[in-house]
Structure 1
Amino acid sequence: MKFSRATLAATLSAALVLSACSGGDDPDSGASGTSSTTPTTSSDAGSEASGDVVGATEDGAASDDAASTDDAASTGAAGDEAGATSDAGDEASSTAGAGDDASSTEVAGGAGQADFTLAEAEEIAASTLETRLKALKAKKGDSAREYYKRSAARTNRVAGVAAFKLEEVFGKSPEAKAKKAAEPNVLAISRADEDPTTLMLVQTVPDKDGVPVLHLMESLSGKAKDFRIIWEAPMLPGTEIPSFDRRSVGTPVITGTREAGDLARSARDSLRMLLPHINWPRGEGKLKVETNGYAEVVRKAAKEQAEAVADQASLRENNWMFTDDTRTLVLEDGSALLFATLKRHTTFDVKPGSILTPPEAYQVLSGDDEITDQAVMETYVFTVLHVPSAEKDFKPEMLAAREQLVSAKGN
């Protein structure tokens, strides 16, 4: 029997209507959350721009917070070439490793100044996005890997090269047809401090009437030439980016995943509130994160897939966080945007005497054309949560999401 797992892009576009725009600029308060009918890009160093998406949907109830996390270092570390696989045994729940104990919560910078001026940031972002477009347009593997090496890092680079491999199945991204990269709208620039690592949050709208895409760019050295996109995802329906501090002042960055600092809860605990809602089978309990339709779509896809193969195999899905790929940018009101990459394993355990014929995407990544025992498909989930401050708690909200199948294996 054949089985297939709908990708997030296909699922969301079929299940949700995505339309988007950018808000106006406010010279004093930073990124505006006000809706607008057309995307805009600010050129005022003392102001901020924002993106919002119209048309929210309420998510249904999901599971409790009992979820697992993965504290191993990211497979897509900055110096890595693309390609990552994971053993089926990784599906067991895991807790923090010793390495995460050393992480701390620090707010970068004082009352100071951004790492780059707006003009510098816009130039850096534009150059990085042009190289990203070359990666999307690449026709040969060597060219794609080189351009991704120059424009992406960590799990985002792994996802990019995996997407290139799967172009023979799904075709090229619609963005690859563009003659030039989408114009960058720099929403936030990290505040200068002793740590050379520098972050920028950039928004683009690839199509004139399309969905805004968020890109988190990082330079470990703090040098312009070393910026890479470490995370990116399209915004979800009904979401908007709250206000940051002025770009000339810079945005504080929280490092570490265990301590909450001035936030209501730590990055780990915030993500643990999300993970049960996208695992399968899911537990019982009230939905504790507003996912704007995402969790509902993921659970529905898993349920339909499980039912489709029920006579031949059982299905389970588990999600973990990549600790090293978690970044938190503090907003003007003290709340924050938590950027994270999750690793999802979709595991098919084949019943005795049965054979599963995998879809073409699985065969491209694994080289196997039939499965008699077990199949594991690994997907990276790029998401961002708006999380509350300790002073004003609220239900965390998912603002953007993207999935990319990166590896598959079975026997």
Structure 2
Amino acid sequence: MNRRNLTTSLAGVALIASLTGCGIGDSIVGLHDAPAERTDTAPLNVDGAESVAGRVLDAAAKARGAKGAEAAKAQSAVLADAALAQAQAATKLGAVPASDPLLKSVDPQVVAISQGKKWPRAILVGTLDQASKTQTLHVLMSKAAADPFKVYASVPMLPGTSVPAMGDLASGTPLVEPADKAGAPLAPAEALSAYAAGLNYPKPGTTNLVTTKDAYATALRTSATAQVKSLGSLAYFSQKHTPVAKNTLAFRLADGGTVTFGQLSRLDVVSTGKAAKELVIPASYSKLVGKTKTSKSLDITSLENVVLVVPAKGAATAVAADEQLVSATAK
């Protein structure tokens, strides 16, 4: 007899016993208040969370590898929010990156489980790609009792980064609302907005509460500088990063800070200067635009998935990031 049948049988026996006892009286079956619900524990144990994560990530790997109409159905069944938006963009372009962490089925390691018996319920999972030695952070979530767990975010970690302690797994880790500052200098939404502003080019925002010295931000600045140098006085380049508010998720750290998952929409604009009559559109974008030259500007939209560690003291920093091209238009 398997475990599910055994549990069902035991429940059936208990129900029969309670029905046959009706009318006997309180002297045999005592009446007591129902025990208070524990809100300081995780709804799943580690084995249960690993089982869920393994199953969901396997399904996500198949969905990310699907194509056409099949991809849309498969992806919406197992992905949501930031993870779904990224997958849909890649599928629409017909080019899912070979490095995509969800394309490979790997053994998950549970990092944190949300606290309490209510919904939403979330699992923070880490995976390691042995070939590239890249670690990835995944958030799996179920928003209601009838909803299955889905992948809401999946972001590769940056070199040399780590996630601070998140408390005891059995006790669970509180989920944090986007506007909840609590024990941190910044609420999750505030941290993402400050980080996004710090990435803008040529006029980044500045704050001592968020640093943009991480590998991803550094790569963006290096790329922007090279782009401006190559354009010279013939064209202008700008870059604007905007948080996608609905795709913000956060877990409370042991020190009171947060691990915040967010998604940014990035708009790169290359516009002609007075000395230029037209821009030659790079081959990687001309297919999306439908032409090879433009007389005014080229707009490129991308999605950026980021994970910020917002400590109780000190500046927030990015520990994971990646990007996905969405579209390009010419004017």
TM-score with structure 1 setting the length: 0.65
Q: Decide which of 144, 162, 165 is 1:221's aligned counterpart.
A: 144
SS at match of 2:184: coil
Tell me which amino acid in the other structure corresponds to 2:314. F
Question: Relative contact order, CA 8 A, sep 6+: which one is greater?
Answer: 1
* Mapping of residues 29-108 of structure 1, within 5 Å: none
* Mapping of residues 162-177 of structure 1, within 5 Å: 162-167=89-94, 172-174=97-99
1:246 aligns with 2:246: no
How far apart, in 2, do the equivalents of 1:149 and 1:361 lie?
28
Which residue number in structure 2 is paired with residue 404 of structure 1?
324
Shift in Å, 1:310: 3.4
SS at match of 1:275: helix
Is the 8 Å Cα contact of residues 178 and 189 (structure 2) preserved in structure 1?
no
Is the 8 Å Cα contact of residues 131 and 150 (structure 1) preserved in structure 2?
no
Q: Decide which of 127, 131, 143 is 1:204's aligned counterpart.
A: 127
Q: Decide which of 69, 77, 85 is 1:150's aligned counterpart.
A: 77
CA 316–143 in structure 1, closer or farther in 2 if over 3 Å, else same: same
Which of the pair is proportionally richer in helix?
Answer: 2
Tell me which amino acid in the other structure corresponds to 2:191. S
Which runs of 5 or more structure 1 residues have no equivalent in the other structure?
1-108
- How much is the aligned-residue C-alpha RMSD, in angstroms? 2.6
Report Cα offsets for 1:112-144 as digits up to 9, x if no partner. 221322222212211221122113333x32222
How far apart, in 2, do the equivalents of 1:177 and 1:204 lie?
10
1:377 aligns with 2:282: no
Tell me which amino acid in the other structure corresponds to 2:52. I
* Mapping of residues 9-408 of structure 1, within 5 Å: 111-138=39-66, 140-167=67-94, 172-174=97-99, 181-194=105-118, 196-208=119-131, 210-223=133-146, 226-257=148-179, 259-283=180-204, 288-289=210-211, 291-351=213-273, 354-389=277-312, 393-408=313-328
Shift in Å, 1:200: 1.2
CA 363–127 in structure 1, closer or farther in 2 if over 3 Å, else same: farther
Extract structure 1 runs of 4+ deviating beyond 4 A: 174-178, 283-288
How far apart, in 1, do the equivalents of 2:45 and 2:189 lie?
32
CA 114–176 in structure 1, closer or farther in 2 if over 3 Å, else same: closer
Is the 8 Å Cα contact of residues 126 and 137 (structure 2) preserved in structure 1?
yes
Which runs of 5 or more structure 2 residues have no equivalent in the other structure?
1-36
Shift in Å, 1:272: 3.7
Report Cα offsets for 1:59-90 as digits up to 9, x if no partner. xxxxxxxxxxxxxxxxxxxxxxxxxxxxxxxx
Shift in Å, 1:269: 3.0
Asked which structure has the greater CA Rg, the reply is 2
How far apart, in 2, do the equivalents of 1:176 and 1:230 lie?
13
SS at match of 1:212: strand
CA 304–143 in structure 1, closer or farther in 2 if over 3 Å, else same: same
Identity of aligned residues (%): 25
